[in-house]
């Protein structure tokens, strides 16, 4: 004979102090788990949201990122007129040779300095990245030491206001605009003229090429052609695939989230077990009465497991709700690929919420299992005589 469902609900309400303690304990564990995983999801989202599926990214073979790649100017001259490359309305090949430089700049809150990625781009580079919009001000002019910084970075670094200037090395740049990368990796960059960037930082090499082929078939042929030519020693792949692989930073955060969740879940399990053992001790005569009335041991175990699972689910919902409050909040960390500041948003996805709820219920059931078995094994006579 199964116990009525309202038995578990009423017990949770009657013992409201222990109920609140159990719910808050599990809520804290779920909150930490979901929040840390949302950090990793935000970094992955930023990378996967970057690029155009039509574009081809070309870097030096063996390099892990654009910032570690070097490509000669002679290579650009040889590649730019390949027949697989599309032309714009002026008949110019749609290829951009970019230069990436790291600059150590002071933070706005005077907490020290951090590396910022400066990208030297050509007019074709902006044409190839339509997702990047001008948020305020104007674009830089070629041949001038002008720069357009990310609007999100402008909130984190000093002298990034429009009209302000900052110095890096021996060069001083004037901020003439803010860019909006549309939630992509470009939100962590500052753009300036490619030739001015090479001249200022004395770079004779380019970092990468971004190419728009005429069609998908031409793109595949272009990738094969570039990689097969031993003169170039280059690696080519679709831009979206390149950025999708740039998620090394998310791995340690995921590991940390999982590690902390496991450590805290152990504490949560013991807390739940302690609460349920206390509840069983206080309900000894009640459980004995249930056994006399004909309820089997498995019915008692099921009722207590239901109670523990219910409390854990409520705690999971509360933990997810608190974590969801941070959804969309912008933060930053150092990128493992570029060693520069990368800006991203917390992403509390439906998948993370479901994982958090499942995690909470599992913790609750494990914490309730042993007290429930102990309750079911209580001798009936001894239980009825207990005070």
pLDDT surpassing 70 at residue 276: no
Share of the chain above pLDDT 90, in %: 34
Tokens read off for 374: 């102990």
Q: How high is the pLDDT of residue 141?
A: 92
pLDDT surpassing 60 at residue 307: yes
**Are the C-beta atoms of residues 79 and 209 closer than 8 Å to each other?**
yes
Q: Rounded mean pLDDT of the chain?
A: 83
> Whole-angstrom Cα distance, residue 334 to residue 190?
16
- Going from N- to C-terminal start, the domains of the chain cover 5-48+248-385, 62-232
Q: How high is the pLDDT of residue 280?
A: 63
**pLDDT tens-digit series, residues 132-170:** 999 999 999 988 999 999 999 999 999 999 999 999 988
Band of the pLDDT at 95, cuts 50, 70, 90?
A: very high
Residues with Cβ < 8 Å from 20, sequence gap 6 or more? none
**pLDDT tens-digit series, residues 200-257:** 998 889 999 999 999 999 999 999 999 998 888 999 999 988 888 776 655 665 666 6
| Beta strand pairing call for 113-121 and 95-106 | antiparallel
Q: How high is the pLDDT of residue 2?
A: 56
**pLDDT tens-digit series, residues 164-179:** 999 998 889 999 999 9
- CA angle, 134 then 104 then 123, to 5°: 30
Q: Residue by residue, what is the 3-state secondary structure of 199-245?
A: HHCCCCCECEEEECECCHHHHHHHHHHHHHCCCCCEEEEEHHHHHHH
């Amino acid at each position: 004979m199964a116990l009525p469902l309202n038995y578990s609900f009423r017990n949770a309400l009657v013992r409201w102090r222990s109920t609140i303690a159990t719910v808050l304990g599990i809520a804290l564990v779920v909150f930490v788990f979901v929040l840390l995983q949302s950090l990793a999801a935000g970094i992955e989202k930023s990378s996967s949201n970057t690029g155009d599926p039509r574009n081809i990214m070309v870097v030096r073979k063996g390099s892990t990122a654009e910032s570690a790649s070097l490509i000669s100017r002679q290579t650009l001259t040889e590649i730019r007129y390949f027949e697989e490359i599309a032309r714009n309305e002026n008949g110019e090949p749609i290829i951009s040779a970019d230069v990436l430089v790291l600059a150590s700049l002071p933070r706005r809150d005077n907490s020290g300095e951090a590396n910022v990625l400066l990208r030297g781009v050509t007019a074709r580079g902006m044409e190839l990245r339509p997702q990047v919009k001008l948020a305020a001000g104007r674009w830089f002019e070629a041949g001038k030491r002008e720069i357009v910084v990310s609007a999100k970075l402008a909130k984190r670094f000093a002298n990034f206001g429009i009209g302000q200037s900052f110095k890096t090395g021996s060069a001083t740049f004037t901020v003439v605009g803010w860019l909006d990368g549309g939630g992509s990796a470009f939100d962590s960059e500052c753009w300036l003229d490619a030739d001015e960037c090479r001249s200022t930082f004395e770079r004779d090499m380019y970092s990468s090429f971004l190419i728009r082929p005429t069609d998908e078939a031409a793109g595949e042929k272009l990738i094969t052609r570039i990689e097969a030519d031993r003169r170039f020693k280059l690696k080519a792949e679709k831009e979206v695939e390149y950025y999708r692989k740039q998620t090394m930073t998310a791995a340690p955060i995921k590991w940390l989230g999982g590690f902390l969740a496991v450590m805290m879940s152990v504490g949560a399990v013991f807390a739940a077990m302690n609460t349920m053992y206390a509840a069983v001790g206080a309900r000894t005569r009640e459980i004995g009465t249930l056994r006399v009335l004909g309820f089997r041991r498995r019915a008692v175990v099921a009722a207590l497991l239901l109670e523990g699972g219910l409390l854990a689910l409520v705690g999971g919902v509360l933990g997810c709700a608190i974590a969801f409050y941070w959804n969309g909040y912008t933060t930053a960390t150092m990128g493992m690929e570029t060693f520069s500041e990368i800006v991203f948003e917390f992403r509390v996805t439906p998948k993370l919420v479901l994982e958090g709820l499942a995690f909470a219920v599992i913790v609750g059931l494990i914490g309730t299992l042993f007290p429930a078995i102990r309750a079911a094994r209580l001798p009936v006579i001894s239980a009825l005589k207990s005070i």
